[in-house]
Protein backbone atom coordinates (compact mmCIF):
# COMPACT_ATOMS: atom_id res chain seq x y z
CA UNK A 1 0.00 0.00 0.00
CA UNK A 2 1.45 3.34 -1.06
CA UNK A 3 0.86 6.44 1.06
CA UNK A 4 -0.18 9.90 -0.23
CA UNK A 5 2.85 11.75 -1.58
CA UNK A 6 4.89 8.55 -1.97
CA UNK A 7 6.89 8.00 -5.15
CA UNK A 8 5.74 5.01 -7.21
CA UNK A 9 8.22 2.53 -8.69
CA UNK A 10 9.30 3.07 -12.29
CA UNK A 11 7.61 1.26 -15.17
CA UNK A 12 10.54 -1.14 -15.44
CA UNK A 13 10.35 -1.96 -11.73
CA UNK A 14 6.59 -2.64 -11.94
CA UNK A 15 7.11 -4.88 -14.99
CA UNK A 16 9.73 -6.94 -13.17
CA UNK A 17 7.86 -7.01 -9.87
CA UNK A 18 4.48 -8.12 -11.24
CA UNK A 19 5.62 -9.94 -14.41
CA UNK A 20 3.33 -7.97 -16.70
CA UNK A 21 3.79 -6.16 -19.99
CA UNK A 22 4.68 -2.50 -20.41
CA UNK A 23 1.33 -1.93 -22.16
CA UNK A 24 -0.53 -3.26 -19.10
CA UNK A 25 1.52 -1.10 -16.73
CA UNK A 26 0.87 2.04 -18.78
CA UNK A 27 -2.86 1.33 -19.03
CA UNK A 28 -3.07 0.83 -15.26
CA UNK A 29 -1.17 4.05 -14.58
CA UNK A 30 -3.35 5.97 -17.05
CA UNK A 31 -6.50 4.73 -15.30
CA UNK A 32 -5.17 5.77 -11.90
CA UNK A 33 -4.17 9.16 -13.28
CA UNK A 34 -7.60 9.71 -14.86
CA UNK A 35 -9.21 8.94 -11.50
CA UNK A 36 -6.97 11.52 -9.83
CA UNK A 37 -5.23 8.95 -7.66
CA UNK A 38 -1.71 9.52 -8.99
CA UNK A 39 0.11 12.38 -10.72
CA UNK A 40 3.34 12.81 -12.66
CA UNK A 41 5.89 15.47 -11.74
CA UNK A 42 8.37 16.32 -14.46
CA UNK A 43 11.87 15.32 -13.43
CA UNK A 44 10.72 13.42 -10.32
CA UNK A 45 8.40 10.58 -11.34
CA UNK A 46 4.87 9.43 -10.49
CA UNK A 47 3.44 10.07 -7.03
CA UNK A 48 0.34 9.01 -5.12
CA UNK A 49 -1.94 12.03 -4.97
CA UNK A 50 -2.54 13.66 -1.61
CA UNK A 51 -6.03 13.97 -0.21
CA UNK A 52 -7.87 16.96 -1.64
CA UNK A 53 -9.79 18.96 0.96
CA UNK A 54 -12.40 21.54 0.03
CA UNK A 55 -12.22 24.90 1.80
CA UNK A 56 -15.39 26.97 1.35
CA UNK A 57 -15.19 30.74 1.47
CA UNK A 58 -18.72 31.38 2.72
CA UNK A 59 -18.34 30.23 6.34
CA UNK A 60 -15.68 29.73 8.98
CA UNK A 61 -14.34 26.18 8.97
CA UNK A 62 -12.63 24.35 11.81
CA UNK A 63 -10.01 21.84 10.72
CA UNK A 64 -10.81 18.97 13.10
CA UNK A 65 -14.55 19.16 12.42
CA UNK A 66 -14.06 19.28 8.66
CA UNK A 67 -11.69 16.31 8.67
CA UNK A 68 -14.11 14.29 10.79
CA UNK A 69 -16.97 15.02 8.36
CA UNK A 70 -14.84 13.69 5.50
CA UNK A 71 -13.89 10.53 7.37
CA UNK A 72 -10.27 11.53 8.06
CA UNK A 73 -8.54 11.19 11.41
CA UNK A 74 -7.16 14.58 12.43
CA UNK A 75 -4.20 15.10 14.73
CA UNK A 76 -2.05 18.01 15.87
CA UNK A 77 1.57 18.68 16.77
CA UNK A 78 2.25 21.74 18.92
CA UNK A 79 5.12 23.77 17.51
CA UNK A 80 5.02 26.89 19.68
CA UNK A 81 3.04 28.29 22.61
CA UNK A 82 4.69 31.48 23.79
CA UNK A 83 4.16 35.09 24.84
CA UNK A 84 5.21 37.61 22.18
CA UNK A 85 4.79 41.33 21.52
CA UNK A 86 2.43 42.63 18.88
CA UNK A 87 4.00 43.81 15.65
CA UNK A 88 2.51 46.82 13.91
CA UNK A 89 0.64 44.56 11.48
CA UNK A 90 -0.89 42.28 14.11
CA UNK A 91 -1.68 45.21 16.42
CA UNK A 92 -3.55 46.92 13.60
CA UNK A 93 -5.62 43.82 12.87
CA UNK A 94 -6.50 43.27 16.54
CA UNK A 95 -7.03 46.99 17.26
CA UNK A 96 -4.45 47.07 20.07
CA UNK A 97 -1.19 48.94 20.59
CA UNK A 98 2.04 47.85 18.99
CA UNK A 99 4.09 46.03 21.63
CA UNK A 100 1.09 44.75 23.59
CA UNK A 101 1.47 41.20 24.90
CA UNK A 102 0.05 38.37 22.82
CA UNK A 103 0.16 34.60 23.02
CA UNK A 104 1.25 32.82 19.84
CA UNK A 105 0.05 29.24 19.36
CA UNK A 106 1.59 27.50 16.35
CA UNK A 107 0.35 24.04 15.35
CA UNK A 108 0.94 21.53 12.57
CA UNK A 109 -2.26 19.75 11.56
CA UNK A 110 -2.56 16.31 9.97
CA UNK A 111 -5.24 14.27 8.20
CA UNK A 112 -4.70 10.50 8.46
CA UNK A 113 -1.08 11.19 9.42
CA UNK A 114 -0.38 13.44 6.41
CA UNK A 115 0.68 17.03 7.27
CA UNK A 116 -1.91 19.38 5.78
CA UNK A 117 -1.40 22.87 7.20
CA UNK A 118 0.49 25.08 9.63
CA UNK A 119 -1.62 27.35 11.86
CA UNK A 120 -0.18 30.37 13.64
CA UNK A 121 -2.69 31.94 16.04
CA UNK A 122 -2.20 35.26 17.87
CA UNK A 123 -4.47 35.97 20.85
CA UNK A 124 -4.60 38.95 23.22
CA UNK A 125 -2.89 37.71 26.39
CA UNK A 126 -4.99 39.80 28.81
CA UNK A 127 -8.13 38.06 27.55
CA UNK A 128 -6.81 34.50 27.95
CA UNK A 129 -3.78 34.57 30.31
CA UNK A 130 -3.57 30.80 30.93
CA UNK A 131 -3.34 29.77 27.26
CA UNK A 132 0.51 29.59 27.35
CA UNK A 133 0.28 26.94 30.10
CA UNK A 134 -1.71 24.44 28.02
CA UNK A 135 -0.92 21.87 25.35
CA UNK A 136 -3.33 22.20 22.45
CA UNK A 137 -2.25 19.07 20.66
CA UNK A 138 -4.90 17.13 22.59
CA UNK A 139 -7.54 19.78 23.24
CA UNK A 140 -9.26 22.34 21.06
CA UNK A 141 -8.05 25.92 21.46
CA UNK A 142 -11.44 27.19 20.29
CA UNK A 143 -13.35 25.15 22.87
CA UNK A 144 -10.86 26.09 25.60
CA UNK A 145 -11.49 29.79 24.93
CA UNK A 146 -15.25 29.23 25.01
CA UNK A 147 -15.24 27.19 28.22
CA UNK A 148 -12.59 29.07 30.21
CA UNK A 149 -13.08 32.65 29.02
CA UNK A 150 -16.51 32.67 27.34
CA UNK A 151 -14.91 33.88 24.12
CA UNK A 152 -17.02 32.79 21.15
CA UNK A 153 -16.00 33.58 17.58
CA UNK A 154 -19.08 34.81 15.73
CA UNK A 155 -17.61 35.89 12.41
CA UNK A 156 -14.31 36.38 10.61
CA UNK A 157 -12.73 38.25 7.72
CA UNK A 158 -9.92 36.75 5.71
CA UNK A 159 -7.46 37.35 2.89
CA UNK A 160 -6.12 34.62 0.61
CA UNK A 161 -2.73 34.52 -1.10
CA UNK A 162 -0.62 32.14 -3.16
CA UNK A 163 2.88 31.83 -1.67
CA UNK A 164 5.94 29.60 -1.95
CA UNK A 165 7.01 27.31 0.87
CA UNK A 166 9.96 28.52 2.94
CA UNK A 167 12.57 25.92 3.95
CA UNK A 168 10.99 25.65 7.42
CA UNK A 169 7.45 25.32 6.08
CA UNK A 170 8.55 22.77 3.49
CA UNK A 171 10.11 20.67 6.25
CA UNK A 172 6.95 20.68 8.35
CA UNK A 173 4.58 20.00 5.45
CA UNK A 174 6.71 17.42 3.68
CA UNK A 175 6.93 19.35 0.41
CA UNK A 176 9.81 20.82 -1.55
CA UNK A 177 11.12 24.30 -0.79
CA UNK A 178 9.40 26.82 -3.06
CA UNK A 179 6.36 24.60 -3.67
CA UNK A 180 3.02 26.42 -3.92
CA UNK A 181 1.03 26.94 -0.72
CA UNK A 182 -2.33 28.56 -0.04
CA UNK A 183 -1.87 31.23 2.63
CA UNK A 184 -4.89 32.61 4.52
CA UNK A 185 -4.90 35.48 7.02
CA UNK A 186 -8.01 35.57 9.19
CA UNK A 187 -9.25 37.94 11.87
CA UNK A 188 -11.94 36.45 14.13
CA UNK A 189 -14.48 38.60 15.98
CA UNK A 190 -16.19 37.64 19.23
CA UNK A 191 -19.80 37.97 20.38
CA UNK A 192 -19.16 41.63 21.19
CA UNK A 193 -17.86 42.34 17.66
CA UNK A 194 -14.31 42.79 18.97
CA UNK A 195 -11.34 41.31 17.07
CA UNK A 196 -9.66 38.68 19.24
CA UNK A 197 -7.65 36.34 17.06
CA UNK A 198 -5.26 36.91 14.17
CA UNK A 199 -4.75 33.56 12.44
CA UNK A 200 -2.22 32.71 9.74
CA UNK A 201 -2.61 29.37 7.97
CA UNK A 202 -0.40 27.80 5.30
CA UNK A 203 -2.11 24.97 3.41
CA UNK A 204 -0.45 22.48 1.09
CA UNK A 205 -1.27 23.55 -2.45
CA UNK A 206 -1.57 19.93 -3.57
CA UNK A 207 -4.09 19.08 -0.85
CA UNK A 208 -6.54 21.99 -0.76
CA UNK A 209 -8.89 23.77 -3.12
CA UNK A 210 -11.17 26.75 -2.49
CA UNK A 211 -14.84 27.06 -3.43
CA UNK A 212 -17.31 29.94 -3.31
CA UNK A 213 -20.89 30.53 -4.46
CA UNK A 214 -21.14 33.73 -6.50
CA UNK A 215 -24.13 35.73 -7.67
CA UNK A 216 -24.28 36.72 -11.33
State pTM to two decimals: 0.74
Spell out the residues 6+ positions from residue 17 whose beta carbon is closer than 8 angstroms to its own: 9
Q: Are 50 and 115 in contact (CB under 8 A)?
A: no
For 36, the enclosing helix (H) or strand (E) is: none
Low-confidence ranges of the chain (pLDDT < 50): none
Q: What is the pLDDT of residue 121?
A: 97
Report the run of H or E that residue 45 belongs to, with start and end.
strand 45-48
pLDDT at residue 19 in the model: 84
CA distance linking residue 27 with residue 153, whole number of Å: 51
Q: What is the pLDDT of residues 27-49, one digit of tens each?
A: 888 887 776 667 777 676 786 66
- Pairing of β 180-189 and β 195-204: antiparallel
Domains and their CATH numbers in the chain? 11-48 (no CATH), 53-211 (3.40.1410.10)
- DSSP letter assigned to residue 71: T
Give me the pLDDT at residue 69, please: 67
Amino acid sequence: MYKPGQLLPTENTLIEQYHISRVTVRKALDLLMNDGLIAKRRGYGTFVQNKKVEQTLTRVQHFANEMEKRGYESSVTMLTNEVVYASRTVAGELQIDEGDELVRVERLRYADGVPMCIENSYLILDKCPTVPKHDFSKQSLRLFLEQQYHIVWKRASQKIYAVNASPKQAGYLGVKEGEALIYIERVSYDQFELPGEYLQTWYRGDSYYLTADLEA
